[in-house]
Amino acid sequence: MTLVPENYENETTPAEPPAERQHPAFAGWLRGVRGLNVAWLAGRIQDGEVKASAEAKKELEEVEWTRQLKRGLKRLGKVESDCRSDRKNAEWKLALGAWLKGRTWVRNLWLSQRMNLGHPHNASKQMVLYKQKRIKTCPYAKHLEQTPKE
């Protein structure tokens, strides 16, 4: 099974898709699709234009959220282990969380677990406060919105 999305960074499509794209949840309904834009497909499923099982929807969402998280971490010069080592409400984490929420339908529970933000309710509250009071002057938010020179 091969599932390779268009790469937003304009890199060439790899010969072998990453492991997160080779999942049994896709078997039977997206077999052999190359150049698939996962974000586009996830949007069509979310809008009800494409029918898929609940498991397939969840897997597509998580693939897209993971891809966007890695993209944001790369733009900030961070790695996933930084999420575990820095404090829960570090400004770069709040900036990245707000950026992800603005680009995807990411759930607070997923964000809290993947970025070590604490309880989902508290993480959501901190991101709302961040967007209200600090986002305009935050260097991390500005850096996330810049187009990468890759």
Does 84 reside within a domain? Answer: yes
So what's the pLDDT on residue 145? 87
So what's the pLDDT on residue 54? 76
Does 13 reside within a domain? Answer: no
* Torsion over CA: 115, 131, 120, 66 (sign): negative
Does 4 reside within a domain? Answer: no
Structure tokens at 90: 């570090």
Nearest to 140 by CA among 130, 149, 129, 125: 130
Does 11 reside within a domain? Answer: no
So what's the pLDDT on residue 88? 92
CA distances (Å), 107 to each of 60, 113, 121, 146, 147, in order?
13, 10, 11, 24, 25
Q: What's the structural domain count of the chain? A: 1
109-128 tens-digit pLDDT: 999 999 999 999 999 999 99
pTM, entire model: 0.67
Domain carrying residue 66:
19-145
Does 119 reside within a domain? Answer: yes
Residues 6+ apart with CB under 8 A from 84: 116
63-112 tens-digit pLDDT: 889 999 999 999 999 999 999 999 999 999 999 999 999 988 899 999 99
**Average pLDDT score over residue span 3-29:** 44
Does 7 reside within a domain? Answer: no
Does 126 reside within a domain? Answer: yes
